[in-house]
Amino acid sequence: MIAKLFSDLFKSKFKHILKTYMGDILGLHKSKIIFYYLNGKSYSDVRRVFKQTSEADDTLIKYYKPFWDLGTSKWNKIKRVADAVNGRLTYISDIDNPHYKRFEYWATPIEVHNNEKDDCDGYAVLLCYVLRLLGLGEYDVFVRVGRVKYTNGKLGEKHANVLVRDEDSMLFFPIEGSWYPNLTSFEFSTHKLPFHRHPRYTETEWITNDKFSFANTRWFKWIK
């Protein structure tokens, strides 16, 4: 009973700290649904992409767990899995993808894995979901959507990438699949530059995983 009480108090304090970080630093608020223009037709909840069968989960675990097991630390394990995802996938736009042929399509993790090609959200969804399957917690890893900058400082298009939380600092660090993946992978392994201080990311609209979502405007969120 006492152990459970302390566990509940810790979780409550942890969630408060995380929500404060999301709100004060990233400008995001807890949300229940993340609406996005999907399938080139209408708005729907992005989180549907994380719903797949246990057989699909087993396939992903069987393929990516060996990369995870080779890691020498948590950060090295994550980087190895990210490199495995990046090595398997080839970047292609949704409209040019023979499996989709739509202006915008967010595929499930197993679709991305099996097709072996996708755009930035495919990389991000697959990596985020696989890391969750391999043990990262519901507040540890998210898919993030927002604006990015080119190396010359010019503001680029909207982009999806993965954020991973550091347990000690409570800060998030970016890791990439299709936007300077090699450079960001190196930066991630050095564990020096948190997301909110990173010069290549700006104007985050929302972050989500299979459990929780945070967004910056009411257009994307429905608060409980």
| CA separation for the pair 188, 165 (Å, rounded) | 11
| CA separation for the pair 220, 104 (Å, rounded) | 17
- The phi, psi pair for 203, rounded to 5°, reads 50, 60
Average pLDDT value for residue range 150-156 = 83
| CA separation for the pair 165, 194 (Å, rounded) | 9
pTM equals: 0.89
Integer CA distances (angstroms), 222 to 45, 76, 203, 204, in order:
11, 36, 19, 17
Integer CA distances (angstroms), 210 to 24, 32, 57, 79, 138, in order:
23, 11, 13, 21, 8
Domains in the chain (CATH in brackets) are: 29-215 (3.10.620)
Average pLDDT value for residue range 167-179 = 90
In the predicted structure, residue 217 carries a pLDDT above the cut 80: no
Question: Which residues have C-beta within 8 Å of that of residue 16, sequence separation ≥ 6?
Answer: none
The two tokens of residue 37 are: 């223009």
Q: Which range is most confident: 7-21, 58-72, 161-175, 185-199? A: 58-72
| CA separation for the pair 131, 72 (Å, rounded) | 16
DSSP 29-41: EEES--EEEETTT
Tell me which residue of 84, 2, 32 sits closest to 214, measured CA to CA.
32
Q: Residue type for 108, please?
A: T
Between 5 and 171, the more confident residue is 171
Average pLDDT value for residue range 11-17 = 68
Between 25 and 16, the more confident residue is 25
pLDDT digits (tens, 9 = 90+) for 84-138: 999 999 999 999 999 988 888 899 999 999 999 999 999 999 999 999 999 999 9
In the predicted structure, residue 13 carries a pLDDT above the cut 80: no
| CA separation for the pair 189, 129 (Å, rounded) | 20
47-51, 82-86, 197-201, 213-217: range with lowest mean pLDDT? 213-217
In the predicted structure, residue 51 carries a pLDDT above the cut 80: yes
